[in-house]
Copies of this chain bind each other. A is one copy, B any other.
Amino acid sequence: MKLKDPDKIKAIHAATLQLVSEVGLAGLNMNAIGKKAGIGMGTLYVYFKSKEELINALYRELKLKHTSLIYHTVDMSLPYKLNMQLLVENYMKNRFKYFQEHLFIEQSVLSHFLDSTSLQLEVDAYAGIYALLKEGQRQLLVKDFPVEILAAQMVGGANEIVADAIRKNKKLSSNSIQYAFEMCWDSIQR
């Protein structure tokens, strides 16, 4: 017999991400994925039994990967503000480096493709930042606002700054990251 080729899955994923960044999720179709990935339709359907399953599988892989990556720098033995700074820097660099993946995630969430298990990952991703903000409030460093609002301000601001750089074909300079953290910190600090 013959075994599935892990490289094919990677090729399918890569083709899907590139197509979505070119024509949007609304313009995505299976033929184009097969062609761009360099594989036949039969093969495509060996790996994913439907378009919906392909999108869910890719979404879950990416969402779990980035939820994990984002918190990699967090180290509770560090001073709180430094911890936050590393988090924001890491978060922004990740959004910039993997912007195609984040674009796919965002469009998937707004589509009718995702099932409830996939959507739950979106909620879970916030647990870490909520906990970190609560710790900041405990240390009297962070404003006494609902953590959902504090987190939304942080995430929204950082996302938009990265998105602006990408829209304008600029690189994400270390200055921009510094400015972003300064604004972020000023906005949440007590």
A18 is an interface residue with CB less than 8 A from chain B: no
Question: How many chain copies?
Answer: 2
A43 CB within 8 Å of chain B: no
How many chain A residues have a CB neighbour from B under 8 Å? 43
A26 touches B113 (CB 8 A): yes
Ranked 5 nearest A-B pairs via Cβ? A156-B160, A187-B187, A24-B111, A156-B156, A183-B187
Asked, given contacts A26-B113, A112-B23, A179-B146, whether A157 binds B161 with beta carbons under 8 Å apart, the answer is no
* Cα–Cα, bound, A158→B155 (Å): 10
User: How far in angstroms is the closest Cβ of chain B from A126?
Assistant: 9
Distance (whole angstroms) from the CB of A141 to the closest CB of chain B: 14
